[in-house]
Structure 1
Amino acid sequence: MAEWWRGAIVYQVYPRSYQDATGNGIGDLPGITSRLDHIAGLGADAIWLSPIFTSPMKDMGYDVSDYTDIDPLFGSLADFDALIDRAHELGLKVIIDQVISHTSDKHEWFAESRADRNNAKADWYVWADPNPDGTPPNNWPSVFGGPAWEWEPRRRQYYLHNFLIEQPDLNMHTPAVQDALLDTMRFWLERGVDGFRLDTVNYYFHDQQLRDNPPNPDGHQEMATDTYGMQQHIYSKNRPENIAFLKRLRALTDEFDARMMVGEVGDGGQTAIDIMADYTRSTDRLHMCYSFEMLGPTFTAAHFRRTIEGFQKGAPDGWPSWSFSNHDVPRHVTRWAKHALDQDTLARQMAALLFSFEGTIGIYQGEELGLPQAELEYSELTDPPGLRFWPENKGRDGCRTPMVWDAEATNGGFSAAKPWLPVKEPHLARAVSAQEAQNDSVLHGYRQIIAWRKANPALASGKTRFIDLPEPILAFTREANGQTLTCIFNLSPKPQRLEVGAAELVGPSTAKLDGSSLSLPANGHAWLTGAPDLTLKP
């Protein structure tokens, strides 16, 4: 199926934390391969592997030093081939993370580029002369704090790093850089990968005039670092030149059968939705995009509706990807806890909501267990933002702790050795083994709702139309192949009652229907057939 990705469910694996097969406390490819049955049994269609390439691990693999080899921490190319083969046997596609906006400062390209101004790769990274007073060339900040420029004494120039100092930005304005990156991606396509997740896809190009970014009137923070959110990043990212490169990426994947790309838009607000729409419009750009709009703290019916309708308006022929958690943000059952009766109820409702959305759906490992954000001590941290900005920013380690498989086993069955991040007691209580034994567990709920989505064409591929109702009710219809389902969600810890007219309650709903009166419990959800006429009752 050439467009298998439309409506698919993609399960994100954080390789360091999934399963340790070698006994060093760090997850690896053989460990992931041994656990693929769990992912297939959940009902997922694909896995997304966070970076597994050779890296000094200053940013846990998002600083690549060799794009065409596996880091020894995770295994070998042979281990990767074995993972691909087993995944395909189980009907799972394999998506790998491509971090091509920047490399590690240990990459051989950067070693050559930084040596002097006259070598063959002198223009492969973004270099700039200092101001007359020695300060950086402009006001661009790093996402991880401080200026986005670092001095290189050998060239007597600054280089750009949108993230860590150890992550110099590639100069995409240099055609040879684009060619080299496309060659590395071809390497993996020929090896059998089914797609790419493109990290920070809107950071690829910079303004060649190096103009200052203007202030952001909203002054919001991004990733809870210091002052990054105080600028409108119109010159350091989100550049129009990106579109032509995205078309080159699409042309490459189109040379192969049934391959796809999903771009991560590192931005917020309407800007993110506009970029998602722009990058997926027509058939010569990305297959789909996701942003951080549903990965933040906002939890209202109006927000979910505005996000989806914004994408629909901007890219009526585009395709979105939606998720509530990933390796960069606090887990959603913790992030949205104040809006819920309890953690398990929220986890089940959010599964029902997410799998009712039009688009491709992303699940982050452990989400199917209802795992909360782990609370770590400063001494346990590894993530650079947390180490730098503690305690206001505790970093991303709390959502990256090991997967819990067996409540009775050492470290939850993740590893016999001390794990790279600790396994906390609240997670052990939610291990796969414990939830398998409970018919009403979050894990069983995920399997049930995923099966419900796949069994109903309206949910799998139907168009979305929202219904006007006041907070805290979110309601919309999905329609495809002659089937119409009305999806209703009570986004509050208080019961709500609706008059629904002529309707029938179907699927794994948590509501009760008495004649034409629908009772939604706290954080309840319902799917209706028939001809509902919805009115919220006082």
Structure 2
Amino acid sequence: MNTLTLLDPVIASAQHPWWQGAVIYQIYPRSFMDANGDGIGDLPGITARLDHVARLGADAIWISPFFTSPMKDFGYDVSDYCDVDPIFGTLADFDALVARAHDLGLRVLIDQVYAHTSDQHAWFIESRSSKENAKADWYVWADAKPDGSPPSNWQSVFGGPAWRWDARRGQYYMHNFLDSQPQLNCHNPEVQEALLGVARFWLERGVDGFRIDALNFAMHDPALRDNPPAPATDKPRTRPFDFQLKRYNQSHRDIEKFIERIRALTDQYDGIFTVAEVGGDEADAQMKAYTHAENHLNSAYGFDFLYAERLTPGLVKAALSAWPATSGTGWPSWAFENHDAPRALSRWISPDHRDAFARLKALLLVCLRGNAIIYQGEELGLGQVDIPFAQLQDPEAIANWPLTLSRDGARTPMPWVAGVPDAGFGSEAPWLPVGQDNLAHAADVQEADPQSLLAFTRQCIAFRKAHKALALGTVSRCDADAVFLLIERTVAGETLRCLFNFGEAPVAVPAYALGGDVLMCVNAGQAHILPAFAAVVLSV
């Protein structure tokens, strides 16, 4: 049984900008909607399906890269920051998308990739041509050691050394990811100016903010000191990257100075939101550093949940505890899924409990303090698709097969219509298979069912917007045991108590947590006993 009580919606003000407490919907353009039938989603396809996002109740969309690219890392290897790759459309298509989104009340966020470019970018082509050209110092170049080996022991995320020899320059260039993604030298003020010019280009086209990709990789230690080995662990290591503490190839302290320049630019425009993607062993400290002041970024996007094997009350409590509502602590953004991580329902729950757990998960996300980011298809309850090796596109999965779970399984096309060969995606031969199990969760099937997960997700978002305590309130209390979680959210004039049972058996709610009016519940009709995978929100 699901119940919903609506109050006056929370309205952004000078004290509370639009993005604080926002619900953001991530779109992976290759897989959202194909408007021209070539098997790859595109910008006109996104525009055609924006009504779906607006009906969901999201405040903004975040579009993963659509810039000109050789697509070796599917857009995160940019060869022209200021144009649209032809497979996605044109700049005019982007302008039309922004106009339609704004008409629907949706803000538009786009990715910015500042740590590296494609090796086909004009900047790199010039940089590698000689040691004396105008862009010679725009990338990270270094001489070989006397024995010809790379300048340091740094390893790339995708496997192997983070250095590649280039005979044209007679030097190594650095790459933290693919060797076709050379590392920009963001210590160089000219590079910073060029990247700020890119941001300005898109701001002038009407975007409302940026998700900044792999920001902690943007600067390295200029002394090229070797990384120390990582402590021993019982966890399997599938890449040389995992054997090191990433002390010197990333996270240089001067990244904060560049962040101040980014913020100074975005403050010249109204209502711009910036969120940093920060991963790695010391992500928490870096996320705080990048968001702790008014001249820094607005938020940080962490990995607390994205790769967690299980969703537990303790994990939620730890994540919330790391972001208290204290002066000097930034505003968090949370996601359970994205284009790089396996689908949450495939990681966290067995198939026989999937439907009940999906509802608990949806309600939990809107009860967390911070922004809620929903990845396309999450509102439908899509699972991870098993992609056979012959159909893999993900370069990391191909290189580390079979030990690395393919990112392709979370990037499969959206199933819009259950009863047609192309699932309503727009092509019967999409770049990745839709996945037969996901067809049963198609949008048209759920649209017709008022008890569907899609309908419930809309309720959850509306519920969050209706209660200022959820959108903006502090976490005044958080208790957790093996299966029971209590989150108390408080703002002036309102306190909500959110109770969750993560277990397969009923749990008795502690006496101190009882009392108040039931405002919303999932898989339960009363507050004192929570059945399996049940949740209740009380007004206290």
Identify the residue that residue 536 of structure 1 maps to in structure 2.
none
**Aligned 8 A contact 1:10 1:47 in 2:** yes
Select the residue among 523, 534, 537 that pairs with 2:533. Answer: 523
C-alpha contact (below 8 Å) 2:317/2:480 kept by paired residues: no
Aligned length: 523
Residue 174 of structure 1 corresponds to 188
Instruction: Supply the distance in 2 between the matched residues of 1:450 and 1:45 (Cα, whole angstroms).
Output: 10
Structure 1: how far apart are the matches of 2:120 and 2:385? 32
Deviations 1:495-537 (A, max 9, x none): 2111344333222343333xxx61111111111123xxxxxxx
Q: Name the structure 1 match of 2:133.
A: 119
Unaligned runs of 5+ in 1: 531-538
- Give runs of aligned pairs for residues 348-359 of structure 1, distance below 5 A: 348-359=359-370
Distance 1:218 1:256, change over 3 A: farther
**C-alpha distance in structure 2 between counterparts of 1:34 and 1:95, whole Å:** 18
Residue number among 436, 459, 463 corresponding to 2:447 in the alignment? 436
Identity of aligned residues (%): 50
After superposition, the Cα gap between the structure-2 partners of 1:310 and 1:286, relative to the gap in structure 1 and judged at 3 Å, is same
Could you say if the C-alpha distance between residues 306 and 42 of structure 1 is closer, same or farther in structure 2, counting changes exceeding 3 Å? same
* CA–CA separation in structure 2 for the residues paired with 1:329 and 1:509: 26
Report the equivalent of 1:504. Answer: 517
Give 1:238 shift: 1.3
Equivalent residues of 2:518, 2:538 under 8 A apart: yes
What CA distance in whole angstroms lies between the structure 1 residues aligned with 2:370 and 2:316? 14
For each residue in 1:224-270, what CA deviation from the matched residue of structure 2 results, as whole angstroms up to 9, or x when unmatched?
741212211111111111100000000000011111111000224xx
Match of 2:72 in 1: 58
Match of 2:84 among 70, 91, 99: 70
Paired residue secondary structure (2:89): coil
Where in structure 2 are the equivalents of 1:80-479 lying within 5 Å? 80-217=94-231, 219=233, 225-268=238-281, 271-296=282-307, 297-312=309-324, 316-338=328-350, 342-479=353-490
| Alignment CA distance shift 1:150-1:219 (3 Å) | farther
SS of structure 2 residue aligned to 1:477 = strand
How far the C-alpha of 1:143 sits from its partner, in A, is 0.2
Counterpart-to-counterpart distance in 1, 2:203 and 2:390:
40
Greater shift after overlay, 227-236 or 158-167? 227-236
Query: What SS does the aligned partner of 2:515 have?
Result: strand
Letter in structure 1 aligned against 2:534? G
Residue in 2 that maps onto 1:535 = none
Q: Does residue 485 of the first structure (1) align with residue 499 of the second (2)?
A: no
The runs of 5 or more residues in structure 2 that have no matched partner are 1-11
Q: Is the 2:40–2:87 contact (alpha carbons within 8 Å) kept by the matching residues of 1?
A: yes
Report the CA distance shift for 1:173/1:249 in structure 2 as closer, same or farther (over 3 A).
Answer: same
Preserved CA contact (<8 Å) 1:374 1:401? yes
Please tell me the root mean square deviation across aligned C-alpha atoms, in Å: 1.6
Write the distance in 2 (CA, Å) between the matches of 1:442 and 1:510.
12
Change (3 A) 1:266 1:455: same
AA of the residue aligned to 2:197: D
1:446-495 deviation digits (Å, cap 9, x = unpaired): 01111111111111111112333422111111011311000111122222
Query: Residues 502 and 23 (structure 1 numbering): CA distance in 2 closer, same or farther, change over 3 Å?
Result: closer
Residues 478 and 484 in structure 1, CA contact (< 8 A), matched pair in contact too:
yes
C-alpha contact (below 8 Å) 1:220/1:230 kept by paired residues? no
Q: TM-score, normalised by structure 2?
A: 0.94
What's the secondary structure of 2:488's corresponding residue?
A: strand
8 Å Cα contact 1:467/1:476 also seen in 2: yes
1:22 aligns with 2:36: yes
1:11 match: secondary structure = strand
1:22-41 equivalent positions in 2, closer than 5 A: 22-41=36-55
Letter in 2 for 1:310: A
Query: Structure 1 residue 219: deviation in Å?
Result: 4.3
TM-score (norm: length of structure 1): 0.94
Distance 1:235-1:315 versus aligned 2 partners, 3 A rule: farther
The one-letter code of the counterpart of 2:161 is P
Alpha-carbon distance change, 379 to 84 in structure 1, aligned in 2, over 3 angstroms: same
Q: Judge conservation of contact 2:412–2:433 (CA < 8 Å) in 1.
A: yes
Q: Which runs of 4+ in 1 moved over 6 A?
A: none
1:487 is paired with a residue whose SS is: strand
Q: Match of 1:344, SS?
A: helix
Greater alpha carbon shift after TM alignment, 404-413 vs 71-80:
404-413
Question: Structure 1: how far apart are the matches of 2:523 and 2:533?
Answer: 9
